[in-house]
Amino acid sequence: MMRFVITAVLTGLLFGILDGLINANPLAVKLMSCFKPIAREKINVLAGIIIDLCYGFAISGLFLFLKDILSGHTGLMKGIVYGAGIWFFRGLMNAVSSWMMYHVPGRTLLYMLLTGLAEMMALGILNGIIIPS
């Protein structure tokens, strides 16, 4: 149980750090400028931290629930498979929906896809390595 809590907290913190790095770097600011008319001027950092910690518990809880049916013989492989799965539901579906609903440049969509994949892989691998298979 303690290993799960530690993993969930680490997952939430890593999620927040990666979101900051992915969305606040100069390239991202330039690529995401198409969202500027609807973007908030300021972000509530405390709310963001709390939300990311809750996401960490959700991500780790789902991994714990699914780990026995995920492909792979090692925790690392299960984490990679899990990361790909959560990327599908978070990254790929978000990019496709944005493409369908908004005027988003292709390079912005590609950035969203690639950074989302890297982020979800990192979170999946973290869970696969720490939570025993």
Q: For residue range 115-124, list pLDDT tens digits in order.
A: 999 999 999 9
pLDDT at 111 over 90: yes
Q: Residue 45: helix, strand or coil by DSSP?
A: helix
Reduce the DSSP state of residue 71 to 3 states and report it: coil
Average pLDDT, rounded, for the chain: 95
* Mean pLDDT calculated for residue range 44-61: 95
Question: What does the pLDDT read at residue 70?
Answer: 95
What pLDDT was estimated at residue 39? 87
Task: Strands of the chain (E only): list them.
Answer: none
Calculate helix-pair angle for 2-24, 106-130, nearest 10 degrees.
160
Smallest CA-to-CA distance from 90 within 19, 14, 5 is with: 19
From CA 128, how far away is CA 126, in angstroms rounded? 6
Whether the predicted pLDDT of 8 surpasses 90? yes
Average pLDDT of span 13-36 = 94
pLDDT in the model for residue 1: 85
- Quick check: 133 pLDDT over 80? no
